[in-house]
A and B are shown apart, each in its own frame.
Chain A
Amino acid sequence: MRSFSLIFKQFSRSVLLIACFAFVGTYAYAQGDAVKGEALFKAKCTACHKLDQQVVGPALGKLITDETDDKFLTKWIQNNQALIAAKNPKAVTVFNQFNQANMTVFADLTDGDVANILTYVRTEWKKMSATPAPGTGPAVVVDKGPSKIIILSLLGVIVLAFIVILVLNRVITTLERLLAKNNVTILEEEAVAGESVDRLAFLKKLAKNKKFVFFVLLCGTIFLGVYTFIGLWTTNLHQGYQPVQPIKFPHDLHAGAMKIDCQYCHSGAYKSKNATIPSLNVCMNCHKVISSAFGSKTASVEIHKIYDALGFDPATQKYDTTKAHPVQWIRIHNLPDLAYFNHSQHVKVGKIKCQTCHGPVQEMKEVYQYSPLTMKWCIQCHKRTNVDFKDNAYYANLQQVHDLLKDGKQVTASLMGGIECGKCHY
């Protein structure tokens, strides 16, 4: 039921608009100002419509160009609901055709405004149809990596270099042969043998040097000891843990480039102990419109995973709950059951930035565990962080804390009992 109503709501603004264009009447195109129309279109329509693609509402370019009855269009845009209420046969057919979803009423648009919009849409669509869409033209071929010529010439250079090396080698051997004929070789060989004997003797001498052996062993023991200690100390410590997630969610894009607030998706962090992984309806707030990667025209595989999970068909904009299945994310930050951690205490009350513990998430391609999440790490922060008393009447009655503050002492979380066992372990 819930998903149904959601679909209904999301569709409501858009679908009716398509409806009106489905009727082809006279080619009485309204004359308007395309520049003014562009401004209006961007202000009023782009939330739901694109010219060449179905988003919340249908793709308008072709529809408006094909539709000729501008009077109907104007009425529809200004107040589609009145048309339906008046049982205009055209409007009702469209309304029913598109799941009886409502489009927003734009009573503030004058007939002139609508004419401007229509003109803009039609001229823009004409331009778009004339110029081939990027990504399909010949320019693409150029972009497809290094050309064969370059690769071939590189190969040629390598072959050439090989030949040069071979020739030089030949020259060297010929010269050596000449030298050998002049009996220089014997001397050389003797010198080599003598050197090697000396070296072994040196090593043997070193091995017999007790001080040196002791030193080496000591170094070895210390090294191994430290290595073992670090190994044991960090056992079950998963700093840097970056599992492969079912959806390659780029935080760098969402939180970094797009500057979406953490709270938008992880709303639980401000009111609950769980930060919560957003439910997919939150994703759909944007991804109903954005179905392709930034700048790309083809639908993104990753975004499509959201649609699959919800049983959403982007072509028909319909949800099929029978196909819905949850996304099985893999937890990155695993606190043991014995430790109680509450996000809202830290984020909402303590006003700690998410990045303090989770690191520069806005730069992470995929999220990994930034902090060690050890108790030592918790305690250190509790010892260092001053409690933020400002504007929080909660602390008003805690008289003794006030006294401490009056004495000029820094009141840290630990002073408020923040490092006591029972604050986290119960």
Chain B
Amino acid sequence: MDSNKKYWKGLEELNKTPEFVELNKNEFAEPIPIEDILTGGGLTGRTPRRDFLKALGFGVGAVTLAACQPVPVHKSLPYLIKPEEVTPGIPNYYVSTYDGQAILVKTREGRPIKIEGHPNDILAKGGASAQAQASVLDLYDVNRLQGPLKDGSQTGWAQVDDFVVRELLAIQASGKKIAIVSSTVTSPSTLGVIADFVKQFPAAKHINYDAVSYTGIIQANQNSFGKAVLPHYNFDKADIIVSFAADFLGTWISPEEFTRQYVSNRNNKSLESKKMSRHIQFETGMSLTGSNADVRIPIKPSEEGAALIALYNAISGSSLAGKALSNKVAQNAVTIAAKELLAAKGKALVVAGSNDVATQILVNAINSLLGSYGTTIDLDNPSLQYAGNDAEFVEFVNEMKSGAVGAVFFLNANPAYDYYNSKDIADGLKKVRLKVSFATSTDETSSLCNVVAPNHHYLESWGDDNAISGYYTVMQPTINPVYDTRQAEQSLMKWSDNPAKEYYRYVRDNWDKNLLAKGGLSGQSGWETLLQTGFVKETPKAGGSYAFNMSLSAVAQTISDHSTELTAADGKTEMSLYQSPAIRDGKRANNPWLQELPDPVSKVTWDNFAAMAPADMKAKGLQDGDAVKIVANGYTISLPVLSQPGQARGTISVAVGYGRTVVGPVGINVGKNAFPFYSLRNKTFQTSAVATLTSVGENWPLAQTQTHHSIEGRNSIIKEASFTQYLKNPASGTGKEEGHKEYKPDLFWQKHDNPTYDWVMAIDLNACTGCGACVVACSAENNVPVVGKDEVGRRREMHWIRIDRYYSFDDNGTEGGVTREHAIADLNVDQLDHVKVVYQPMLCQHCEHAPCETVCPVLATVHSSEGLNHMAYNRCVGTRYCANNCPYKVRRFNWFNYWNDSRFDNYLNNEHTQLVLNPDVVTRFRGVMEKCSMCIQRIQAGKLKAKIEKRPLKDGEVKMACQQTCSANAIVFGNANDPESEVSKALASERTYYVLEELNVKPGVGYQTKIRNISETEA
């Protein structure tokens, strides 16, 4: 029996709005106006016979002339003296590091074209985030500064050095302060250079400033345990995770690492050993983490404190005074969570996303009661990823305003954009004599500086990193500096007259002296080994015991006061500010791959918006895209609203990181800046506020992909089961468990022979968190074009793999729940507060009996003997029949020559950016279909390598780009002809099902059911 549970991608689909029904009828949103031409004025209009003949004659003549061209002359320039390690046509891989994570950089003929996770990296074990994948595109950003600037005009490095040194000495003499403001520096060598600088100029001070700050946690640990550190969390050791608005799978501290840890207790392997962690999330807006939780309770920001106090009381049995939790659902959930947490003592973890010290102290108290320290929380090998100190930075801004600061250096920090009071920065900087920015391209802060000394891109730099205590990674350049830039460390060394003249030398010496020994390496050979392995790792320090013995009454009072402040009065709305997993804090806002990556939950591209509960929208009479004016903390912006199922009532959520004003053409004026809504409370930045909303009366449509390519009216797309059902019968939910109908796909169609390989894929829906890194990895690997907001709005996004996000209603433990047969009509909006989410990566299914193949009039898409569905772009004439006939809606049509069209200037339309293209994959031209090729270039390369080495192709040797970057290992690819292959084993799982299996197309991609750890009694 197929499930008849209703899944839906958006409210328009659920409610069957006329627009949705109309748009969904057609594969392509905008029909070509053939009808108009044939009927209306098209033929009788002002194109008389003579003009027609002229056009015809010219056309024929032009075509003839064009065909007469002689052989096009292609120059071919070999190296004068070829570097030994370079063979044209063969990629080289170099280890490097991105955000403290060891990575591999793929280079072709000396230019980096792809970032890949390092398989031995201890953080993500081969995974890489969307941001890491996209970072390679920044290298080829034509908007980067091409040389140093002084007072906004081009100058030379000698002049800059001369000027800065002279100024520094003068400032030193005047006794004014010098500040180096950076986002958290984790590189030991950079820290060394800064320390040397401070030694040279004792008036200097290094200030860590993070746009999205974790000061609350660091300060709370200082107060609770006397250790001002950001702990290292072990989600893999937790059987139960309770999170209060911490988006640890999307943006919180180290999401790639946490995803890997989290999924290790929920993937197929864990399920087969009858083990699955449980995850309860309390949050305001629907986050990536919340959407993956087993139980998700929407709470207002003002209720968070009360919920935490209630949880503490329930666990400790004490009665800490605090505001009563008026939210009954939350109260109920807190009670259940407390019970489960206590039952899993030592294997429990409570985290909170708040940056409030008091809240974090309370969380520490709870974790301490649960015995998390030393198990799920590691204070002895802390995370070094964030060390920002809000109070220090605020103090610096005040000093700057008072005129006490003589010089300031901004390293990877952009406070003029992301500080809550950017006016203070602008005013303060006016009183500073020497302002230096190391920004790679002009940004809000560097445009206020008198010297811009552009830093190298990290792929051009030497360096190192130290994300968590004891884990040291090395960064090596993979290309010569493209522009006349200089590494910031080099500049600082030059200006502070450092005895080491070259930063490379500095890094080398630092490793030789301090770091190589940690990995048991030494000398030149040790360094060379390091440049191949990428990191050294110390044995972790043994965990000490941490007793929490602070009085909590004051803490509880502070929390309650904060909650009262956040409680919205009549007519006001509570607002929570969050980071979108793609754009994060906005530093990479000029990256088109990230802008076009749909937000995992809302599926909105190229914009930020105010997410609002559907019930609130109804009450206010707002439609999706209606602009509202948001006023809070003395700052006003107008944003379109979006109905977000699961959003807490009476709240809105707004993403920060948008609304950059001084940035390249991609990121400029995309969305609105929400950072000024931050506030400073108890010396930390707070991400919640009380806002007043007023309708602007306009509609600003959002480019939202959620209902694009909908597979409407089918029931067998998503299959899920609860963990209890799974334990009873692993095949629960697949439809196989009870009298599964055996399909006979080969009845009508001839069976294909796959004599060599049968390439298939298995995707574990329980492992996929929906983060979207695979989408960016696929774009980078396969030269998938970026189309921009306008075209996304026309449903013309080109992504070969998309993450479908489906909502379903809580079925309250009853069989069937809300189905499409009944109940939808009687739905009240209340039920939209509690929705379940399933993410499903959808890509070409490489059907054995592919419907696209049978309708192609020119045989441009055909089946291969290796089980793949080939697409020959040059054979395609663009009838688009195949897309219309594809039940999975995975085919994409090229409406333009994206790399050669001024409308797409923000992406590939320049020679420099085109260098990022993968030379093994052709760029498709206007008028042809394209789709997932199953990274056939990788399959071919893998086979060829095996042939040359005269050995069989090993399982797992060929990895798809999407599979490779997945920190959750949700995607497995391999040869189904080999029964021992990983993919064969994965597909043999009882949880396996095929999407739309009843169509008898025999897809090559198998999915494993989503399992939710919900007990039948609660929820």
Chain A interfacial positions (CB closer than 8 Å to B): 2-3, 6, 235-236, 238, 241, 243, 267-268, 271-274, 276-282, 309-310, 324, 326-331, 334, 336-338, 340, 342, 344-345, 348-349, 391-394, 396-401, 404, 415-417, 420-423, 425-426
Q: Which residues of B contact A267 (CB under 8 A)?
A: 87
B480 in the interface, Cβ–Cβ < 8 Å? Answer: no
Q: How far is the CA of A236 from the CA of B977 in the complex (A)?
A: 42
| B755/A274 in contact, CB under 8 A | no
| A394/B864 in contact, CB under 8 A | no
| B77/A398 in contact, CB under 8 A | no
Q: Which residue in chain A gives the minimum CB-CB distance to B862?
A: A421
Q: Which residues of B contact A348 (CB under 8 A)?
A: 948
Q: Which residue in chain B gives the minimum CB-CB distance to A321?
A: B80
| B78/A327 in contact, CB under 8 A | yes
A-B pairs, top 10 by smallest CB distance, nearest first, are A422-B870, A272-B89, A279-B82, A400-B755, A421-B872, A279-B79, A274-B89, A273-B89, A331-B74, A277-B78
Q: Which residues of B contact A268 (CB under 8 A)?
A: 87-89
| A393/B862 in contact, CB under 8 A | no
Within the complex, what minimum Cβ distance (angstroms) separates A395 from chain B? Answer: 8
Q: How far is the CA of A342 from the CA of B940 in the complex (A)?
A: 10
B83 in the interface, Cβ–Cβ < 8 Å? Answer: yes
B548 in the interface, Cβ–Cβ < 8 Å? Answer: no
Q: Which residue in chain B gives the minimum CB-CB distance to A425?
A: B872
Most buried by A among B74, B80, B88, B977: B80
Q: Can you list 26 A-B contacts with CB-CB less than 8 angstroms, sorted by A residue number? A: A2-B81, A236-B67, A267-B87, A271-B87, A272-B87, A272-B90, A273-B90, A276-B87, A279-B78, A279-B79, A329-B78, A330-B73, A331-B73, A394-B950, A394-B952, A397-B953, A398-B756, A400-B756, A401-B755, A421-B860, A421-B870, A421-B875, A422-B870, A425-B872, A425-B873, A425-B875
| A338/B755 in contact, CB under 8 A | no
Q: How far is the CA of A349 from the CA of B940 in the complex (A)?
A: 13
| A345/B76 in contact, CB under 8 A | no
| B922/A426 in contact, CB under 8 A | yes
Q: Which residues of B contact A282 (CB under 8 A)?
A: 82
Within the complex, what minimum Cβ distance (angstroms) separates B79 from chain A? Answer: 4
| B78/A338 in contact, CB under 8 A | no
B344 in the interface, Cβ–Cβ < 8 Å? Answer: no
- Known A280-B81, A340-B937, A426-B921; judge A330-B951 contact (CB<8 A): no
- Known A236-B67, A326-B77, A331-B76; judge A426-B933 contact (CB<8 A): yes
Instruction: Report B849-868 CB contacts with A as 1/0, cut-off 8 Å.
Output: 00000000000101011101
Chain B interfacial positions (CB closer than 8 Å to A): 67, 71-83, 87-90, 753-756, 860, 862, 864-866, 868, 870-875, 920-923, 933, 936-937, 940, 943-944, 946-953, 977-978
- Known A349-B944, A420-B862; judge A277-B76 contact (CB<8 A): yes
* Given A340-B937, A399-B977, 15 other A-B residues pairs in contact with their CB atoms under 8 A: A243-B71, A274-B88, A279-B80, A280-B81, A281-B80, A326-B79, A330-B76, A337-B923, A338-B922, A349-B947, A394-B953, A397-B953, A400-B756, A421-B860, A422-B870
Q: Which residue in chain B gives the minimum CB-CB distance to A232?
A: B67
- Total cross-chain contacts (CB, 8 A): 166
| B82/A281 in contact, CB under 8 A | yes
| A327/B77 in contact, CB under 8 A | yes
Q: Which residues of A contact B73 (CB under 8 A)?
A: 243, 330-331
Within the complex, what minimum Cβ distance (angstroms) separates B233 from chain A? Answer: 42
Q: Which residues of B contact A324 (CB under 8 A)?
A: 80
| A279/B81 in contact, CB under 8 A | yes
Q: Which residues of B contact A326 (CB under 8 A)?
A: 77-80
Q: How far is the CA of A348 from the CA of B871 in the complex (A)?
A: 28
| B756/A334 in contact, CB under 8 A | no
Q: Which residue in chain A gives the minimum CB-CB distance to B71?
A: A238
| B936/A394 in contact, CB under 8 A | no
Q: Which residues of A contact B79 (CB under 8 A)?
A: 279-280, 326
| B952/A276 in contact, CB under 8 A | no
Q: Which residue in chain A gives the minimum CB-CB distance to B866?
A: A417
Q: Which residues of B contact A423 (CB under 8 A)?
A: 864, 940
Q: How far is the CA of A349 from the CA of B870 in the complex (A)?
A: 24
Q: Which residues of A contact B72 (CB under 8 A)?
A: 334
- Known A277-B78, A340-B920, A426-B922; judge A394-B874 contact (CB<8 A): no
| A392/B920 in contact, CB under 8 A | no
| A420/B950 in contact, CB under 8 A | no
| B947/A3 in contact, CB under 8 A | no
Q: How far is the CA of A370 from the CA of B67 in the complex (A)?
A: 22
| B753/A280 in contact, CB under 8 A | no
| B874/A278 in contact, CB under 8 A | no
Q: Which residues of B contact A278 (CB under 8 A)?
A: 78
Within the complex, what minimum Cβ distance (angstroms) separates B308 from chain A? Answer: 54
Q: Which residues of B contact A401 (CB under 8 A)?
A: 755-756
Our pick among A243, A309, A394 for the contact of B946 (Cβ within 8 Å) is A394
Q: Which residues of B contact A6 (CB under 8 A)?
A: 81
| A328/B67 in contact, CB under 8 A | no
Q: How far is the CA of A392 from the CA of B946 in the complex (A)?
A: 9
Our pick among A3, A236, A328, A426 for the contact of B75 (Cβ within 8 Å) is A328
| B76/A394 in contact, CB under 8 A | no
